[in-house]
Amino acid sequence: MLLLAGTSYVHARELITVIKTREAEPYEIALTSLRRTLRDKGIDTQIEELFLAEDGQGKDHRLAELIKKNPQLVVTLGSAATERAAKVIKDTPVLFCMVLNPQASGLVRSMSGSGNNLTGAALDIAPQVQFEALRSLLPNAKKIGVIYNPQETETVVQQGRKAARDMGLELIAVPIASGDKVPDALRSLEKKVDALWSVADSTTFTPASMEFIFLHTLRNKLPFMGLSPAFVKAGALLALAADYQEVGVQCGALATRILSGESPSSLPVTTPQKAILHVNLKTAETLGLKIPPDRLKGAVVLR
């Protein structure tokens, strides 16, 4: 589906093209916030939206057409859109928004500077912040398990190991090479760990495996820390989530700087400044946990 907001050539205004591969509410929240930030900063822009179907692998000629229009900035929403844009767009600045682990994905060389035409607002919440949230609910948890595919999320797991060590915790990471190893990996973990942590690993979390993981963790009373509020809704005990509006604002600030002539390569990738705790009390009940109310201050609680 192609959504072009205003197809006329108005060169007086800055042309920004927004690329997305999926319609999802968090992306829309961030985009709205981005638009508002630009408007607040007094930048007159014309924003075109380009929707790339996620299975349309051979249809990136539309991206080529987009480049011909010579937009001042390409904004991508999500990892999939960013990866596809990064493959084709090499000169025009690409500002990614709502992307998790851009470094692990290889989109940027480092969080402090991409070294290419990309920069953006990431969703990464530091493992330490995450473990602190986990520990606030489970003070006795010492051993934390995680299942990951080293080819995908080695970097994140490394960060996690370091953070755990610093906090006096132990992260037991079970590497898997394919999805069919998830049940075995989960079974190998269930007796050894006090909680299960998760990294955004597509080998571990497939549509088919997720149900199994949720059921298995609930059955075995294994507290599970998910990746997003949706995980909490689906049965995970807790998750830390970025404020998507804040991500949009960060993205807007970066866009302003790029449009004013700064190079993306030197602009550091931003990360959320605040993380919101989401807790599922039903799951807590199932797990037999008693969480003192003061621990839930400022948290979004699902009862």
Q: Which residues bind other proteins (CB under 8 A)?
A: 22, 24, 26-27, 54-55, 78-80, 98-101, 105, 123, 178-183, 200-202, 205-212, 226-228, 230-231, 233-234, 239, 241
Enumerate the H helices of 91-178 as residue ranges: 102-105, 127-137, 150-167
Query: Measured from the CB atom, is 81 or 173 closer to other proteins?
Result: 81
Query: Measured from the CB atom, is 122 or 195 closer to other proteins?
Result: 122
Instruction: Tell the residue number behind the tokens 């949009």, with chain if given.
Output: 248
First to last CA, the chain: 38
Is the backbone of residue 298 left (phi > 0), alpha (psi -120 to 50) or beta?
left
Determine which helix (DSSP H) or strand (DSSP E) holds 73, and give its type and residue range: strand 73-77
Distance of CA 180 to the CA centre of its chain: 24
Query: Measured from the CB atom, is 15 or 239 closer to other proteins?
Result: 239
Q: Which two tokens stand for residue 204?
A: 């571990």
Query: Measured from the CB atom, is 141 or 156 closer to other proteins?
Result: 156
Minimum distance from residue 267 beta carbon to other proteins (Å): 20
Minimum distance from residue 243 beta carbon to other proteins (Å): 14
Minimum distance from residue 189 beta carbon to other proteins (Å): 16
Minimum distance from residue 11 beta carbon to other proteins (Å): 35
Minimum distance from residue 125 beta carbon to other proteins (Å): 11
Minimum distance from residue 83 beta carbon to other proteins (Å): 8
Minimum distance from residue 232 beta carbon to other proteins (Å): 10
Query: Measured from the CB atom, is 125 or 258 closer to other proteins?
Result: 125
- Ordered DSSP codes for 190-257: HTT-SEE-----TTT--HHHHHHHHHHHHHTT--BB-SSHHHHHHT-SEEEEE-HHHHHHHHHHHHHH
Query: Measured from the CB atom, is 110 or 266 closer to other proteins?
Result: 110
Query: Measured from the CB atom, is 239 or 269 closer to other proteins?
Result: 239
Q: Among candidates 276, 282, 283, 280, which has minimal Cα distance to 299?
A: 276
Q: Among candidates 194, 119, 102, 109, which has minimal Cα distance to 156?
A: 102
Cα distance between residue 195 and residue 295, in whole Å:
18
Q: Among candidates 107, 94, 102, which has minimal Cα distance to 66?
A: 94
